[in-house]
Amino acid sequence: MVKERIGFIGVGLMGHGMAANIVGKGWPLTVMGHRNREPVEDLKARGASEAATPRELAEQSDIVILCVTGSPEVQGILQGPDGLAAAGKPLLVVDCSTSDPSVTMRLAAELAPAGITLIDAPLSRTPADAQAGTLDVMVGGDPDAVARARPVIDAFAGRVMHTGPTGTGHTMKLLNNFLSLGYAAIYAEALALGAKAGLTPQVFDSVIRGGRMDCGFYQTFFKWVLDRDPNAHKFAIRNGLKDMTYLASLANSVGSSNPVGAAVRNSFALAVGTGHGDDYVPMLSDVVAELNGIK
């Protein structure tokens, strides 16, 4: 069976591991140049080729995977002057970014007449899971398009859940991130409050770890809190704020109250506003501690 040609845009923290699994499992791969050359050169050494623009990448691909920051970047890659659509050919585009569902659905409708099918396949877990090929992937799209993309997604995924039509993957991803980022905000405040009352993070952890409130996210968060491991959960606070802003937009669009979401968003907005946007999410604990006069 001849494998389809895969294009990949966004070989950053998550995308590099995903792309390495794709090329390592025998898919012909083209990646687009990136300001950080190290992952691009690594993938080229593994057998990938490189394109200079989305249009050039589209010309060499049948399926294109996007793993970028959010909807503005996705729209530029698809519809920019030298974007994927400018190649004038049919494509299946799989958006693994965390994007605004309303924008995803609009783009899918606009691109369909040109023969471009857009499905959303956002990710859960960490860059380490991307390298290991064990990501969780939520896929929204027409069943036939999802079936076509599935073998490629399986190259970097441990679990794949079909959530419904295009846009539902990004909706589910925002709900998933609401839970995880909500945990982060609560952990940070609980730790600061405990410290104010004389409880150390070690005592806090001795009670929570192994109990009903323990979970995988707690464990990676506390690798920073206790061990100061900067690689424990490499997801920037500013991206957390972006995702919570998308969640607020989603709540507004469906007419749903979202008071806890607003509180979580404000925690991340405060961290970004005080200059910590490039810190990783577990470092929110330090930001909240510092604001409460704790070191």
Cα–Cα distance measured from residue 15 to residue 217, given in angstroms and rounded to the nearest whole number = 20
Q: What is the dihedral of CA 257, 261, 266, 268, to 10 degrees?
A: -160
Angle at alpha carbon of residue 261, lines to 259 and 264, rounded to 5°: 115
Give the pLDDT score at 1.
Answer: 63
Per-residue pLDDT tens digits for 85-124: 999 999 999 999 999 999 999 999 999 999 999 999 999 9
Question: Within 10 Å of residue 160's Cβ, how many Cβ atoms?
Answer: 16
Segment 172-189 mean pLDDT = 97
Per-residue pLDDT tens digits for 126-165: 899 999 999 999 999 999 999 999 999 999 999 999 999 9
Nearest in space to 94 (alpha carbons), one of 76, 72, 121: 121
- Asked if residue 192 has pLDDT above 70, the reply is yes
- pTM for this predicted structure: 0.92
Checking phi first, is residue 203 left (phi over 0); if not, alpha (psi -120 to 50) or beta? alpha
Question: Within 10 Å of residue 193's Cβ, how many Cβ atoms?
Answer: 14
Cα–Cα distance measured from residue 238 to residue 73, given in angstroms and rounded to the nearest whole number = 15
Give the pLDDT score at 35.
Answer: 80
Cα–Cα distance measured from residue 19 to residue 242, given in angstroms and rounded to the nearest whole number = 24
Cα–Cα distance measured from residue 285 to residue 225, given in angstroms and rounded to the nearest whole number = 7
Segment 179-199 mean pLDDT = 98
Segment 230-249 mean pLDDT = 95
Provide, rounded to the nearest whole percent, the portion of the chain with pLDDT above 70: 100
Residue 289: pLDDT band with limits 50, 70, 90: very high
Checking phi first, is residue 293 left (phi over 0); if not, alpha (psi -120 to 50) or beta? left
Cα–Cα distance measured from residue 40 to residue 231, given in angstroms and rounded to the nearest whole number = 21
Residue 34: pLDDT band with limits 50, 70, 90: confident
- Asked if residue 33 has pLDDT above 90, the reply is no
Cα–Cα distance measured from residue 258 to residue 48, given in angstroms and rounded to the nearest whole number = 44
**Which of 25, 44, 89, 173 is an active site residue?**
173
Q: Rounded to the nearest 5°, which phi and psi values hold at 252?
A: -65, -40
Give the pLDDT score at 290.
Answer: 96
Question: Within 10 Å of residue 81's Cβ, how many Cβ atoms?
Answer: 8
Q: Rounded to the nearest 5°, which phi and psi values hold at 52?
A: -90, -25
Copy the structure tokens of residue 62: 């049948």
SS3 letters across 60-117:
CCCEEEECCCCHHHHHHHHHCCCCHHHHCCCEEEEECCCCCHHHHHHHHHHHHHHCEE
Cα–Cα distance measured from residue 94 to residue 145, given in angstroms and rounded to the nearest whole number = 10
User: Which stretch of 8-17, 26-35, 74-83 has the lowest confidence by average pLDDT?
Assistant: 26-35
Average pLDDT, the chain: 96
Q: Is 234 in the active site?
A: no
Please, what is the end-to-end C-alpha distance for the chain in angstroms?
59
